[in-house]
Amino acid sequence: MKTIVLGDIHGRGIWQLIVQRENPDKVIFIGDYWDSFDIPFLDQMYNFKQIVHYTRTSDKEVILLTGNHDVHYQRWAIEAGENYRGFQAIHANDICQELQLNEDIMQMAYKMDNFLFSHAGITETWLENMEIENDENMVDNINDYAKFKPQLFGFGVVGRTGYVDNYGDNIWQNPTWIRPKSLMKDSKDLGYIQIVGHTTQNQIDTKGKSTGGKYYFIDTLETSGEYLIIEDGQITAGKC
């Protein structure tokens, strides 16, 4: 079985060439479909609609994860004035509507064998604060929180108390915000290989030299043009 994992999209249509070239059994998008400094809004909207169409009609299994640049277009976030770098205020309601139409096919986390996928990563401290056990129901419970209490995944929100810390690099951060240093510090005992985006990398460290092979940071479509390939338990990087 062949799975490809695509880093932060930000309006780019290169994913279409990748899935055509690789012909995978499964495709996982790591989130952040919106907000680009060089791709016009209409192109971003068209690209997201193409991703949705592919997800709903393809004979492949397609997983759409949610990123921080998707969260700040949720209705609650717009009404609360919660936005950050790249936010397209003039188009916010249009993006919000498109996300609402397709919320049934989006999720916060996904698990496959011993691989755990989310936009930025999951720590032991965050799970503890959310009172989520690291068991067979963990991913379902995370996705339920994202569906019924989406505010808990906002900018700098940590735990069920709603405490806010706008600095991204700490172990309390939620799975749309945490940064690599804190993620690696506080998730060693979860028992998963985590695959995440969110923080731009120059390339994917498929040799595991800097992470011990326990983490793969794949926000590289804009830099090296790399994406992750998982096939028969082996991890390699493709390049577009």
Q: For tokens 């062949």, name the residue.
A: 2
Q: What are phi and psi of 238, to 5 degrees?
A: -95, 165
Mean pLDDT across 126-147: 96
Question: Which of 228, 226, 223, 180 is CA-nearest to residue 202?
Answer: 223
Helix, strand, coil distribution of the chain in percent, nearest 5: 30, 20, 50
Q: What is the pTM (predicted TM-score) of this model?
A: 0.95
pLDDT in tens, 34-62: 999 999 999 999 999 999 999 999 999 99
Mean pLDDT across 228-232: 96
- CA 156, CA 164: separation in Å to the nearest integer? 5
Q: What's the length of the chain?
A: 240
